[in-house]
Structure 1
Amino acid sequence: MKSFFHAHARRVAVLCAGLFLACPAVHASSDESALTSLIALVSQRLTLAEPLARLEWANRGARSQSASPSVATRQHEAQLFAEVEKQAKASGVDPVFAHTFFQDQIDANRGLRQALFDTWRNLPPGAAPEPASSASIQNRLDRFTPLMILALSRLQDLRTAADCPSRIAQSLTGWKSLTRDDSRYTTALNQALSHICETGGVGALG
């Protein structure tokens, strides 16, 4: 079944290439380019919510479908946070901030999957999404970890700046105007970026 997320993933890939944001590589020489680079990475990581949701839908069955984490998922998240804090320290990033940022990524991805489940429950019989392969999804998610840590390390000054919220909002508005995403995706993107500034808060993003 073709979906908005397939088209979105293609648009993000094109934008990354066009902006020289070599996803998965990150190049940034200023706060603005570092911020755009981080938004591109966050956006691309969110595109994996759809294949992951399809896999979960097939494995669990429609009636019991929920994005709530399984025991195995919680174990993997614990391993992820341990690795995040290790890489953050090595890169000069506050490990508490890094932990919060990656928790936002997990929560945003989970919320997006739940929105998909809610949509799929209303599909007619035989129109359920085809399952995705589990072989590469987790590996693809994990590849974003060092790239995002690197991007965060380049935003240290921006995080404490008085105009951080407005600069985040401006960059995010510009990105959304290029990707033309629906409300489910933009809500997830806001959530994923809600604690970049020390003042935090989704409201700061507009």
Structure 2
Amino acid sequence: MPDAPSCPHRRQASSHRRSALKHRLVFALLFVSVSASAAPPTLEPLLNSIAERLEIADQVALSKWDSHKPVEDKKREQEVIASVVAQAPNYKLDPSAAEQFFSAQIEANKLVQYTHLSDWQFQGKAPDDPRPDLVKQIRPQLDQLQKNLLQQLADFTPQRTDPQCPQWLATAVHEPLNDPLRQLAMIRATAELCIYKG
């Protein structure tokens, strides 16, 4: 089947992974430069881990493409949510807050997967990238990242009610990344992060 032209506003999974460090550096530079907003130091590592989790979505999408399994995996999602709810008190987090946060991460992750799968269907093929094993390699990465995110969410929790919290997030996720999909996924992943709605 001849290759169809790729969508110019989206990158392939391989380019996402190669640019993961660049994305994290963008966030780091952002918080150095935007002193007027006085973003707390606890926000940068949290956003970096959220971005890292979204990078893993590229690998998950490849696995789903090869296996022809659906993106929606209710059993796995329920396991993740049950795990974070159980672990939340260890990080002095409200279990309901942890559940809400990780539900947003799951939805953002699926957004990336659905977009890639649609692109690859349009193009007639997926990237010829190495395929990490979903169960043996990808999920252990996600499990470790889950612990990091719980700690970082706990560290940032006192600032979630700050009146400037929505501005900090808006500034961070709208920093030009030349990657509309990644930006949209970051918006979804952080949509309920700020409690202040004024």
- Place the TM-score, normalised by the shorter chain, in its bin: 0.7 to 0.9
Please name the residue that 2:20 is paired with.
12
- Give the aligned partner of residue 35 of structure 2: none
2:192 is matched with which residue?
Answer: 195
Gaps of 5+ in 1: 20-29
The answer as to whether partners of 1:36 and 1:171 remain within 8 angstroms in 2 is: no
Distance in 2, matches of 1:17 and 1:198, equals 26
* Contact preservation (8 Å) 2:62, 2:126: no
Q: C-alpha distance in 2, partners of 1:35/1:5?
A: 26
* Letter in structure 1 aligned against 2:67: N
3-state DSSP class of the match of 2:192?
A: coil
1:1-206 matches, within 5 Å, as 4-13=12-21, 16=24, 19=28, 32-60=40-68, 66-69=70-73, 74-124=74-124, 127-130=125-128, 132-134=131-133, 135-173=136-174, 176-177=175-176, 180-199=177-196
**How many residue pairs get matched?**
176
CA contact (8 A) 2:65 2:117 kept: yes
Counterpart residue identity of residue 60, structure 2: L
Q: Deviations over 1:131-161 (max 9, x none)?
A: 7231301111111111001101111221111
Q: Which amino acid aligns with 1:128?
A: A
In structure 2, give the amino acid aligned to 1:133. Answer: P
* Secondary structure in 2 matching 1:33: coil
Does the Cα contact within 8 Å between 1:108 and 1:191 map onto a contact in 2? yes
TM-score (norm 2): 0.78
Matching residue of 1:24: none
Mapped partners of 1:108, 1:50: distance in 2: 12
Asked if 1 retains the 8 angstrom alpha-carbon contact of 2:162 and 2:196, the reply is no
Alignment partner, residue 22 of structure 1: none
- Residue 195 of structure 1: CA displacement? 0.8
Tell me how far apart the structure 1 counterparts of residues 24 and 185 of structure 2 sit (CA, whole Å): 19
Cα separation, 2, equivalents of 1:128 and 1:88: 37
Q: How many Å separate the matches in 2 of 1:142 and 1:165?
A: 28
Alignment RMSD: 2.6
Query: Percent sequence identity over matched residues?
Result: 23
Q: Secondary structure at the match of 2:123?
A: coil
Deviations 1:148-203 (A, max 9, x none): 01101111221111221112212333xx43xx242111111110011111147xxx
Unaligned runs of 5+ in 2: 1-10, 29-37
1:17-76 deviation line (CA, Å, top 9, x unaligned): 795xxxxxxxxxx9622111111000011001111111111111xxxx75222xxxx222
**2: CA distance between counterparts of 1:57 and 1:6?**
15
Is the contact between residue 24 and residue 51 of structure 2 (CA under 8 Å) also seen in structure 1? no
